[in-house]
Every structure is written in structure tokens, then in C-alpha cells.
Structure 1
Amino acid sequence: MKITRPKTIVFITGAFVSNDCWKEWQAYFEQKGYTTIAPPWPHKDAPAEVLRNRHPDSEIASNRLADLTNYYAQIVEQLPEKPILIGHSIGGLMVQLLLQRGLGAAGIAIHSVPPQGIFTFKLSFLKAGWGPLGFFTSTKETYMMSFKDWQYAFTNGMPLQQQKDGYYQFALPESKLIVRDTITAAAHVDFSKPHAPLLLTSGSTDHTIPASLNYDNYRKYQHSDSITDYKEFEGRNHFVLGQPTWKEDADYILNWIDKRLFQPETINKALKINN
């Protein structure tokens, strides 16, 4: 079996934010020779301000994790090669789910929502997640994060103006059901199953997905011939894609791709898994 160098990257957006959050990442990776796409979620193909003005939005409210994973699977399957998958938050969870289906040459899960069965009682996680779950409210209506909640859940520790800019550029209304689906079988991962190389990253100041939760996710993977790596970045919050340090993270990912996809040891493992 011949191993070819993948040159396509699919960026998978997380909840609460526009796919525009990948624009700088796309430009940067394209400068490095990759072709990139960052498809919007269903019913979210509009500027953030437009979507906020539609809130409460019954179409966005109808999004479910299983359907969203299938939506990205169909996009990936239409590409001329297996792409590298890079996802943030729920997008990181979908990276893991798509690798389970054999649909990626490699995966990078940035501050990923963990698969089913991995949980923490850390206060910041519970505080950041309670509102989006929308208990005792209608699931036919979207949840729109307030700026105050955004400051806690996404941009904690950043200057006020950067927090405001991020909110008005990227914050979107979200489906309560898709958040709830992350603790159901729709988010199930078989950790003993072989998979393409996977990198999980975390941030030391992330309130929404604490670093310890990402580390627990990493430790669950058990297949000895599959590559699973973990990296915690100091000072990164959940708005990691838009923090001033984002290029450092992107460079780490680029170096990891080169190391894990194109060294002889990795190629031999990929051949063993696929045969």
C-alpha cells in the first residue's frame, strides 16, 4: 500500500461560533501548501450578525450531533483524498468520530468536547456548560450566549476590547439539543479501535473544556499501533483560535503533521493498521 502526502485540510467548527473563526488559519495553512475548506454548519451559512438577529432560530435549534457528523462525513467522502481533519470544541469531537469511520488521514482535536462517558465535576466546566444545555427551556428555540457568559466561557483573561471584537465577529445562536447530544451514544468512540494519527490539544485557562478533561480523553485511547498524542498550551482559553498566540499553536500542529504522517515509523504503523 502506498502512503501519499495529504494536502487537503478540513476545518470543523465548534458550537456557538461562526466558521469565519478559521479564516486566518486557512490563509496560514494555505501559505504552507495545503488546500483548505471550513464548511459552515447547516443553517449557519450567513454572517454572525445576521444569524444573531434571527435568534431564536428554529432551524439552527433543530441541529443534532449525529446529523452534523454525517454532514461532515459526506463532505469528506466527496474529496479526492482523505484529508487532515482539524476541529475545535464540538468540532474536535467530530474529528474523533470521523476518524472512527476511517475518514481522515490524521486528526487534530483542539480543546475537544470529550466523547461519551468522559466527564468532570470541575466548577468552571459546569458553570460554562449549564446555560447552553438549556434545561427547563424549549429546545425549539436556540440558545444565545450573553456577552457576560462569553467572557467567562470563551475569552476569560483577554482584554475587554478583544473580548468584544470576538463576540461580535463570531458568536452565534446554538442548538441546545446538539449540546445535550454530546453525552449520548451520538458521541460514542470505541477507544480500542485502530485510528489514524490523532493529536489532542488543550489550554491551561480554558473554562469550557478544562485541560484535565482533554487529558482524560487522550488517556482513553488504547490501540497500541495507533498514534495518539497530547499537548497542553499555557495560557490558552476556549477562544484559542482567535487568541494572539494562535500562530504558535498552528505551527505546533504543522510540525506534528510532518512528524506523525511522514516519518518511516508512522508510515509502517499506517500500513499495519490498513492491512
Structure 2
Amino acid sequence: MKTVVLFFSILLISVVGLAQEKAIDKNVVFIHGAWSTGIVWSNFENYFSGKEYNTISPTFNYHSTERNDSLIGVSMEDYVSQIRDILKSFENPPIVVAHSMGCIVVQRLAMEGLIGKMILIAPPANYGMMPPSESIKSVKWVNSVKHLKNNLTKPTFEQAVNGMLNNLSNEKQKEVYSNMTYESGLVMKEMIWIKNIFGKKPNKIKYSQIDIPVLLVSGGIDNASPLKISEKLMKKYKSKVELKQFENNAHWMMEENNWKETAEYISKWAD
């Protein structure tokens, strides 16, 4: 009798454990990039919710379509701190999907063991990586912003289209641009000055400290974060990483015509 009770106790523990593991796997945090808010993930959130995922898409503090001077002087460390608090609220490390600048933030937090699986969409160059010429050209206008460290930045419509929204219809470009926000000049300085050897290096990633599954998602016609960047990251992460290229996509993959194809691939990979 004791043997039977023990057997069913072990079986029950196993079933509960599997259920808990399933619940853990269904927590997804979406992290946006520069000049945007959590609204860019609307399509993805609806898709993942339909797949019974629990989703959250926070917005970095002070990001607004209206200029908010509270954003002046905000650093990448501030973004990392904000998202760290969110990730720590989970009992177990969730799946995290990030876009562009947000990829730096989540890689930093993956170093701390706060992420279960990591998906990087259109990641920018990290510290020590020379960005491709296309990437440099797409944000060249930022260097013309006076007193960048103590200022805010926002691309003009034309700059946004050329650098990030080149694969959207004109109507969709206008819609997306209407939701674009101001961005901290300090954060842009921290990102663009890749080889700056002085001061803090918030985009310096210690890849050996990240021991989780990593998916890199790249667009074949992305001007801001070309495939070359993901290929370099592939070598950094080595056997822990998978690279998926969508040849006909650009930088704003979450809202391009085939966004559902991208979301489907990510969800299947995450499962």
C-alpha cells in the first residue's frame, strides 16, 4: 500500500511540475527599441495571447510622442534598471523578445540570469563591434544633434523612412511615425559610440555569462541593423544561438505585412 501511495505521490509531483514548467514557458516580455513604446508590439501581443501566452510590453520611462524633458540625461543603465525590476517580479525567468535598442537591454539582463529564452529582432552592434556602413548611415543624422548628451532626439519622417520604415506602405509609414517618440540623446550617444574606450560601456556584453537559448531575427533589407550584425553575434554566442533571416523584411518587422510569419516562427522556436 505504501508503495502505491508513493508511486502516485511521485506521479502527482511530476504532473504538477510539468504544468508549472508549461506556465513558466508561457510568460513573454516584449521590449521595444528607440523612438517607440510598447504599442509596437500590439500585433505580436495579440498573436501570442491567442497562443495562450501571458504577455507584457512595458514602455521605457518618459517615452512620449510629446517632448518630455524628464528623458534628458536618462541612460541605458536606467532602462536596464527599469526592466530588471519587471523581470525580477517573475517567479522564474520568462521568455523575452526585444527589438533594436531593446536588444542591448535584454542582453545585459540575460547576463544576470533573469531571462529564460531570448529573441533579438534586428539587434544593433554591441560594444566592440564595428557596425556596417548601412547602419552608420541610417543614424548619421544623430551626430548633428547639438549637445547630444543633454538633449533629446527624434528622426524626421524622411529619416525614419530611410533608416527604419523603408518596407512599409506610405500610409503605414505615417501611422507608425505618428507613434514614434523622443529618445534620450545620452542613450543614443552610448549606442553609437561603439568603440569609445572612456566612461561606462552599457552595451558591453559578456557573452560567456549568457547560457540560454538565443534566437537572432534579421531582415534582408534592414538598413539600420543589417544581417552582418546578427552574423557577428552568431559567432559571439556560438552553439547557443540560432539565426533566422527574413529576406524581404526591413527593420520594423513587428508591423510589416508578414509580421504574423515572424511571430509564428518565434512562437514555435520558443516552444
Query: TM-score range with shorter-chain normalisation?
Result: 0.7 to 0.9
Corresponding position of 1:39: 58
TM-score after normalising by structure 1: 0.83
Match 1:147 to one of 157, 174, 177: 157
**Aligned residue number for residue 180 of structure 1:** 189
Aligned to 2:114: 103
Q: What amino acid is aligned across from residue 70 of structure 1 in structure 2?
A: S
What TM-score, normalized by structure 2, do the two folds share? 0.84
C-alpha spacing 1:138/1:216, structure 2 compared with 1 (3 Å): closer
- Give the Cα separation in 2 of the matches to 1:199 and 1:248: 15
What is the CA distance between 1:245 and its match in structure 2? 0.7
Distance 2:132 2:218 in 1: 17
Q: 2:246 aligns with which of 226, 230, 233?
A: 233
Equivalent of 1:202 in 213, 218, 238: 218
Distance 1:134 1:99, change over 3 A: farther
Contact 1:14 1:89 in 2 (8 A): yes
In 1, distance between residues paired with 2:214 and 2:140? 29
Structure 2 equivalent of residue 14 of structure 1: 33
Higher-Rg structure is 2
Paired amino acid for 1:20 = I
Displacement after TM superposition at 1:176 (Å):
1.4
State how far apart, in whole Å, the 2-side matches of 1:134 and 1:77 are: 38
2:128 maps to 117
- Which of residues 74, 77, 95 in structure 1 aligns to 2:88? 77
Which of these residues, 147, 150, 155, is aligned with residue 137 of structure 1?
A: 147
Count of aligned pairs: 245
Aligned partners of 2:62 and 2:76: how far apart in 1?
14
Cα drift, residue 99 of structure 1: 1.1
Q: CA RMSD in A?
A: 1.9
Which letter maps to 1:151? V
Q: Which amino acid aligns with 2:47?
A: Y
Does the 8 A contact of 2:37 with 2:58 survive in 1?
no
Whether the aligned pair in 2 keeps the contact of 1:87 and 1:109 (CA below 8 Å) is: yes
Contact 1:134/1:143 (CA < 8 Å) preserved in 2?
A: no
Q: Which runs of 5+ in 1 are unaligned?
A: 45-50, 259-275
Equivalent residue number for residue 213 of structure 1:
229
